[in-house]
Copies of this chain bind each other. A is one copy, B any other.
Amino acid sequence: VSAIESVAVVGLGLIGGSLARDLSARGVRVLAYDANAESVRSAMRAGAVTESLDASLDGARDVDVIVLAVPVDAAAGVLARLAALPLRARLITDVGSTKRGIVDAANALSLASRFVGSHPMAGDHRSGWSVSRMGLFRDAVVYLCAPPAASRTTLQYATEFWRDLGARPVAIDADEHDRRVAWTSHVPHVVSSALGRALSRGGLPRRELGPGGRDVTRLAGAAPELWTSIVQDNASEIEPAIRAIEEDLAALRAALARSDREGIRAWLSASRAWFDAS
């Protein structure tokens, strides 16, 4: 990132850790805090973090960019703490999977003009510093949600920040974002987990699955803490989406019960048509 010399990363999990690695590899000074001090020490040994921050985040006052990479239900609290500091940063952003709550929270704070929420569509079911890696954001869509009070310069700056990491930033309204990711990310997690739970009840270990079944159940291994916060935060969008899946499964079951070959084929054909169109 051309004009960026220093970035504070709060939270060194998969996303924060990968960010720190990419940024430091580009010569950016990376300051970091993580509740787990061992993650910070590992990141410093790996050369991904230049300097550690303490929980006050006081050392972040002079950096160019601040990134919150903490669970979605912790981000607003960290943001409030930052708002009490005399920040020099041109951009404050987060990386959470839901955006309405954090964007609303930011909009009410003094730092609102310099805040844009981010959601990189990267990573997988794993979490933590130990699985962070360089290049995680290459070609990944990163949704950018600006609060009403954000300046256009801030949005432009956020766009360049992510583009320089190889990502594809897409500006979107926070409500629309949460509606969309309920379907494209949260419900896939839920469905994958439901399948894992069913197999667990049936005493069928994952190693008995073929390649297809392993794909479908990969997200069943996601971190429960992180995802509890996400689905709870986006419950209003996720609930009707889950209900729609239940009803659609019931429709297939009804077709099976009446041996309706055409009905079954039509049901399966619609998903194939969607798959082929993408």
Contacts and interface: CB of A to CB of B under 8 A. Distances in A.
Interface stretch (A37-45, A61-69, A144-152, A238-246): A238-246
In the complex this chain forms, how many copies of it are found? 2
B200 A271 contact: yes
A202 to B, nearest CB: 5
B231 A256 contact: yes
Given A199-B274, A206-B277, 17 more contacts: A122-B210, A141-B210, A180-B204, A184-B209, A185-B212, A190-B249, A193-B272, A196-B275, A197-B248, A197-B271, A207-B278, A217-B275, A222-B268, A222-B272, A238-B256, A245-B249, A246-B249
A190 to B, nearest CB: 6
B122 A275 contact: no
Interface stretch (A99-107, A108-116, A258-266): A258-266
Contacts of A215: 215-216, 218-219
A181 to B, nearest CB: 9
Nearest to A189: B212
B124 A206 contact: no
Contact of A198 (B211, B244, B276): B244
Contacts of A277: 205-206
A185 B213 CA distance: 6
Interface of A: 121-125, 140-141, 180, 183-185, 187-202, 204-213, 215-225, 227-228, 231-232, 235, 238-239, 241-246, 248-250, 252-253, 256-257, 259, 261, 264-265, 267-278
Nearest to A248: B194
Given A183-B202, A220-B272, A239-B257, A252 B194 contact: yes
B235 A242 contact: no
Given A124-B212, A246-B246, A249-B242, A228 B184 contact: no
A245 B198 contact: yes
Given A200-B274, A210-B140, A224-B272, A194 B245 contact: yes
15 contacts: A121-B210, A183-B198, A187-B198, A191-B194, A191-B249, A194-B245, A206-B277, A217-B275, A221-B275, A221-B276, A227-B268, A235-B259, A242-B249, A242-B252, A242-B253
B208 A141 contact: yes
A258 to B, nearest CB: 10
